[in-house]
Chain A
Amino acid sequence: DTGVSQDPRHKITKRGQNVTFRCDPISEHNRLYWYRQTLGQGPEFLTYFQNEAQLEKSRLLSDRFSAERPKGSFSTLEIQRTEQGDSAMYLCASSRTSGTSNSGTDTQYFGPGTRLTVL
């Protein structure tokens, strides 16, 4: 078990550019979550997938943000036309949830995050 990995760890970009982040969850974890964390704040939920289906999106996820999880394995988060307000740490987490289990008892395992700086 290698844990959740994220790539890149750091990204510096200019305003208006597009960026894409990748998350590789723990193998056999069917749920994958994206969160965003700004300095001095706790992570905020962005979206989650169960297998390849994107089941919930936060209002924080503007039209410039899109996430995919093809084949239910790794996921990508793309931000188009980046703005300075997008600067944050983007966190990915995964969990293994059965159809009958209570989601509140499932442990989410977090990756190290991708730190985005928009100049």
Chain B
Amino acid sequence: GNSVTQMEGPVTLSEEAFLTINCTYTATGYPSLFWYVQYPGEGLQLLLKATKADDKGSNKGFEATYRKETTSFHLEKGSVQVSDSAVYFCALISLYNQGGKLIFGQGTELSVKP
């Protein structure tokens, strides 16, 4: 079946450090891939997405590249800020599912210290 695996958290970084959160997936065909972010006390927000192989999604300094050969969609940011502290979820939608349901990883908590 379709699934998403993320690196375990929590991840603790100092401000301006480089961030990588690993995400790999298992899916039939070529799914669309997403990163959602959940700030404390708020709902899930779409951070970025990529819908085909080699696409790069980017937003707010974050980026992720759809790698078909490694079935990965790792999230990166060159210089994190305290305000980036949140839980990050990698997710996919299988193109064989007409309903478009999202399949999420377990989430990775990021804590950025000043």
Contact = CB atoms under 8 A, between A and B. Distances in A.
Interface string A43-69: 111001010000110000000000000
A43 B102 contact: yes
A110 B101 contact: no
Given A91-B43, A110-B44, A56 B93 contact: no
B20 interface: no
A42 B43 contact: no
Interface residues of B, number: 27
A22 interface: no
Interface residues of A, number: 30
B49 interface: yes
Interface string B79-93: 000000000010101
A79 B34 CA distance: 30
Interface string B99-114: 1111111110000000
Contacts of A95: 100
A108 B43 contact: no
A14 B100 CA distance: 34
A107 B4 CA distance: 18
B2 to A, nearest CB: 11
Interface in A86-119: 91, 93, 95, 97, 102-113
B51 interface: yes
A61 B94 CA distance: 20
Nearest to A107: B46
Interface string A65-76: 000000000000
5 contacts: A41-B106, A42-B107, A45-B101, A56-B101, A104-B95
Interface of A: 4, 31, 33, 35, 40-45, 48, 50, 55-56, 91, 93, 95, 97, 102-113
Interface of B: 4, 31-32, 36, 42-46, 49, 51, 89, 91, 93-95, 97-107
